[in-house]
Amino acid sequence: MRLKQDAMRWGIFNRQDIDVMRDAFLLALEDGTAFDVAEDGEMLGRAIIRLYKMGLSDPQKLADVAALMTSSRLFRAETSHRCRSEEAVLMK
């Protein structure tokens, strides 16, 4: 169990993990929430990964909570700041 927790902390996922997150992503898009995949897709994916790492593994719940998070201005600001920080590190 400890090994799986360590792997998830670092973002190492097996095929089953990827399938659950993919299903959650597709469910979030199908739920009728007005997502622009080009703009919101990355943020939705980041939210799903974050929630999955925290232990939420039901695809429908992942989809619902991630959609709610993505619609939050606070989450958008935090994600935008994190992306800019990652880009700055990569540019060095």
Show me where the domains of the chain are located: 2-91
Question: Rounded to an integer, what distance in angstroms lies between the CA atom of residue 80 and that of residue 62?
Answer: 21
DSSP H or E run through 77? helix 73-91
Of residues 27 and 75, which shows the higher confidence score?
27
Q: pLDDT grade, residue 4 (50/70/90)?
A: low
For the stretch 7-64, pLDDT in tens is 555 668 999 999 999 999 999 988 756 566 667 788 889 899 999 999 999 999 999 9
Q: Is the pLDDT of residue 5 over 70?
A: no
